[in-house]
Amino acid sequence: MAEQAPRYLDLCLFLGPFASSDPSLNEIPVDCRSFQSIEEELDHYRSRAESLEGTLLDTQLALEEFQASSRELEEEMERELERTEKINNEVKARNEVLRREAEEWK
């Protein structure tokens, strides 16, 4: 009897040729365990997908919070910059007045 082809691809064998020398491209760990049945493998990868989905949602929430706080900080810094520029212009104007007075006294 001829050898039957596997019903599904072994993920480790499939990803092996695509391994990169760039570590950032290999950050997602590949689980290269063997399973007793397709159901066991499906359960494992469903569980893994749910876990990753939870991580994704947490990361998205953290990103949204970071973006909101960044916007608030940027607005605060813009207001502070405007105040500082106004004070700087007032000091320059006062300095010019004092410089003219000093020239008159010479």
The 10s digit of each residue's pLDDT in 53-73 is 999 999 999 999 999 999 999
Give domain status of residue 70, yes or no.
Answer: yes
Give how far the C-alpha of residue 32 lies from the chain's centroid of Cα atoms, to the nearest Å: 28
What is the extent of the structural domain holding 77?
38-105
Residue 80 lies in a domain: yes
Residue 83: inside a domain: yes
pLDDT at 51: 93
For residue 10, being part of any structural domain is answered with: no
Confidence (pLDDT) at 1: 46
Assess if residue 12 is contained within a domain. Answer: no
**Residue 12 vs residue 64, higher pLDDT:** 64
More confident residue, 2 or 100: 100
Task: Please determine, for residue 5, whether its predicted confidence score (pLDDT) is greater than 50.
Answer: no
Contacts made by residues 3-11, CB under 8 angstroms, sequence distance 24+: 7/38, 8/38, 8/41
Q: How many domains does the chain have?
A: 1
Which pLDDT score, from 0 to 100, does residue 65 have?
97
Domain membership of residue 22 (yes or no) is no
In a domain, 99, yes or no: yes
Instruction: Dig out the tokens for 40 from the structure.
Output: 């066991």
Residue 16 lies in a domain: no
